[in-house]
Structure 1
């Protein structure tokens, strides 16, 4: 014969039901919170980092300095500290010529993380080797074309040779950067070492490479151009 539960059993079962309901509610709240957190931490397409490639020689490779002292690393750190999402791949190599740069460029534009901006700082070593100006201009033009054909924007950094090379060589050498930037519709920084070259307090004893303090000045030279480019890219993404 069925007997109803005793009053004490009924009274004690009610708290268990309330605890179970509260526990379920708490679990659901936690799951909702974790889901929201995960959604906010997984980068969307608009949040993904901008890929920047620097292709240069010793002037961009922190010559005889710690990597963190070079202008490329200083640039990346400054951009990130100001909230920009960037990954800068420094493929610069001391002694690199334009021909060597072509080989390095090919490897990077064929990689999974294709650069959106390619910064080219090359030609100085070709000039120091005394190669003919037409050869340097043709080679650098070809390199810029290859970079642009990959779909990336290109920033060309101008270089000046030491005056002991003679004006008949150094002046047309310096002028070729503007010519190439104009013909190939690339961005141009006329002279990377503006305000640095010739200053013994900012240059190493060789008179060719910036010291640690000089690298900070190089950063100040190039930062406005990169910041402007990033802002333009953000506007295009928001459209």
Structure 2
């Protein structure tokens, strides 16, 4: 899992130097100082996208660079957008443990918060009302700590092992929360991947590197418009 990433802004230190008639050297020093200032300005303007989820976000079983948040970062870089991705995925995370962890994760300012939790709740048969309440609490905490952050909720579905009522109820949690909180929704994070043996690891749950590419595209279709809006502010 990619370790949690903190952004540090280092001030530029200017040294007063005597040129002693060495004009070319002085010009080079001035150029270097200007480049350092520009670099700091760019760092200050960098916005943070935080992916908060479970092993799907963490990229369990894969190299860090193959996880879908890392693929998203590559897409961002290719377009020259000034965003930095933070992968805060934790294998085994439930909505309850996520609710307890989110305060610590929000120790830095976040501009876009992608919430990908719930799958482990569904697989464990946790009561639907509890899952929904925990997700709502996480949304509330994010809005309290970072009022300006855009929130994107990743929709999830589970196999019908626990019966059609639980399965359909679980699926509906995500569009309901998105509508009630006026947040963006990824309809189904694993669209085009779930149930395909060629796109999943042997456990049948976690996507392969190729599957993660498809997951990244599912996210990107919702995320990109949000990023474009952010660059226009």
Instruction: Give the TM bin, normalised by the shorter chain.
Output: 0.7 to 0.9
**C-alpha displacement of 1:143:** 1.3
Larger displacement relative to structure 2 (162-171 or 93-102): 162-171
The answer to whether structure 1 residue 140 and structure 2 residue 135 are counterparts is: yes
CA contact (8 A) 1:196 1:203 kept: yes
- In 2, Cα distance between equivalents of 1:208 and 1:38: 46
The answer to whether structure 1 residue 105 and structure 2 residue 102 are counterparts is: yes
TM-score by length of 1: 0.81
- Alpha carbons of structure 1 residues 228 and 33: separation in structure 2 relative to 1, 3 Å: same
- Alpha carbons of structure 1 residues 120 and 163: separation in structure 2 relative to 1, 3 Å: same
Correspondence for 1:125: 120
Correspondence for 2:87: 90
Deviations 1:116-138 (A, max 9, x none): 11111111111111111111111
The answer to whether structure 1 residue 178 and structure 2 residue 194 are counterparts is: no
Larger displacement relative to structure 2 (186-195 or 139-148): 139-148
CA contact (8 A) 2:118 2:156 kept: yes
Larger displacement relative to structure 2 (123-132 or 170-179): 123-132
**C-alpha displacement of 1:28:** 5.2
Deviations 1:115-164 (A, max 9, x none): 11111111111111111111111121111121222222111000100122
The answer to whether structure 1 residue 206 and structure 2 residue 200 are counterparts is: no
- In 2, Cα distance between equivalents of 1:171 and 1:135: 16
Greater CA radius of gyration, 1 or 2?
1
Deviations 1:64-97 (A, max 9, x none): 1111111111111221232122222211111101
Structure with the larger RCO, 1 or 2 (CA within 8 Å, 6+ apart): 2
Correspondence for 2:41: 43
CA contact (8 A) 2:185 2:222 kept: no
- In 2, Cα distance between equivalents of 1:201 and 1:96: 25
TM-score by length of 2: 0.83
- In 1, Cα distance between equivalents of 2:198 and 2:42: 45
Q: CA RMSD in A?
A: 2.0
**C-alpha displacement of 1:30:** 3.7
For this pair of structures, how many residues does the alignment match? 212
- In 1, Cα distance between equivalents of 2:33 and 2:113: 37
Correspondence for 1:115: 110
